[in-house]
């Protein structure tokens, strides 16, 4: 157990906590939910992924090398984008580039502003500060983008007749899908807005909980959490808007007709 942390953990504590996953598996079996295998795989992936992340972060934090920091950030963005694309029920070519660009612009812009101007870290890419912030931004951007993309593309498929009618009446492609763009961005931003509405009252966010467990002053923990919530609201809105505006042009052909290959995955 670490002496620097009031409530340090070891593998025995983690094994005890795994009992909660086992309980969820028992419930799945009892009610025939078919989730036991997925729970087991997810639990194992959680341990392995976080274990590997810990090893990688220890190396990067220790060396404080800008090249390694950028490489790790690139890997994080690629994995986040891949996960966002996996959740889509409608596939469109070129979406991967849109998602990658949206996440890169949003994550790096907001992370650099927060670490450099708000927190005042020097150098601005200080690994123990920059990488966790980037990770939080990517996690929320992933959810926002995946929800927005799915809402927009599903709407294009389900409302094909309405969109084509608007086009036939003289609307431009952008005008024809503008209601879907608005609804998609709104859908992508709802989760972070809901989180902001209940933070500190119903839920105790991760960064605040972690700082309190590490012995930080509650006032400092609160200030950091407020900064994080505001940061996530901005980054999620930026990444969601960029991804949808870039995707909007991909659902139309060169002659401004809605693509005929837009359909739900079987």
Q: Are residues 191 and 148 in the same domain?
A: yes
Q: Which domain holds residue 153?
A: 66-251
Q: Are residues 242 and 197 in the same domain?
A: yes
Query: Among 46-50, 74-78, 197-201, which stretch is predicted with the lowest mean pLDDT?
Result: 197-201
Does residue 257 sit within a domain? no
Q: Are residues 121 and 204 in the same domain?
A: yes
20 or 213, which is more confident: 20
Task: Write down the pTM of the prediction.
Answer: 0.85
Q: How far apart are CA 259 and CA 256, in angstroms?
A: 9
pLDDT the model gives residue 200: 81
Q: Pick from 37, 63, 89: which residue ends a domain?
A: 63
Q: Which own/partner contact pairs does 173-179 have at CB distance under 8 Å and 24+ positions apart?
A: 173/248, 173/249, 173/252, 173/256, 174/248, 176/258, 177/152, 177/248, 177/251
Does residue 258 sit within a domain? no
Q: Are residues 78 and 193 in the same domain?
A: yes
What is the residue-averaged pLDDT of the chain?
91
Q: Are residues 39 and 82 in the same domain?
A: no
Q: Are residues 90 and 157 in the same domain?
A: yes
Q: Are residues 53 and 126 in the same domain?
A: no
Q: Are residues 55 and 76 in the same domain?
A: no
pLDDT tens, residue by residue, 215-244 = 888 898 899 899 999 999 999 999 999 999
Does residue 266 sit within a domain? no
Q: Are residues 125 and 47 in the same domain?
A: no
pLDDT the model gives residue 52: 92
CA dihedral 47, 233, 148, 48 (to 10 degrees): -10
């Amino acid at each position: 157990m670490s002496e620097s942390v009031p409530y340090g953990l070891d593998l025995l504590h983690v094994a005890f906590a795994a009992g909660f996953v086992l309980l969820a598996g028992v419930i799945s079996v009892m009610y025939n939910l078919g989730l036991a295998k997925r729970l087991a795989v997810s639990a194992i992936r959680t341990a392995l992924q976080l274990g590997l992340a810990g090893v990688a972060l220890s190396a990067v934090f220790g060396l404080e090398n800008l090249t390694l920091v950028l490489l790790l950030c690139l890997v994080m963005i690629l994995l986040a984008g891949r996960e966002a694309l996996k959740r889509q029920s409608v596939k469109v070519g070129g979406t991967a580039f849109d998602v990658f660009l949206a996440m890169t612009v949003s994550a790096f812009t907001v992370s650099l502003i927060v670490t450099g101007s708000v927190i005042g870290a020097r150098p601005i890419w200080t690994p123990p500060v920059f990488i966790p912030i980037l990770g939080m931004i990517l996690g929320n951007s992933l959810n926002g983008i995946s929800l927005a993309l799915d809402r927009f593309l599903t709407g294009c498929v389900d409302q094909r007749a309405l969109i084509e009618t608007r086009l036939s009446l003289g609307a431009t492609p952008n005008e024809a899908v503008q209601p879907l763009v608005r609804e998609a961005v709104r859908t992508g931003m709802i989760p972070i807005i809901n989180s902001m509405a209940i933070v500190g009252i119903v839920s105790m966010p991760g960064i605040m909980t972690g700082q309190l467990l590490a012995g930080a002053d509650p006032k400092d923990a609160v200030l950091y959490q407020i900064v994080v919530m505001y940061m996530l609201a901005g980054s999620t809105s930026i990444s969601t808007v960029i991804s949808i505006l870039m995707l909007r042009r991909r659902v139309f052909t060169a002659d401004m007709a809605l693509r005929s290959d837009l359909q739900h995955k079987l």
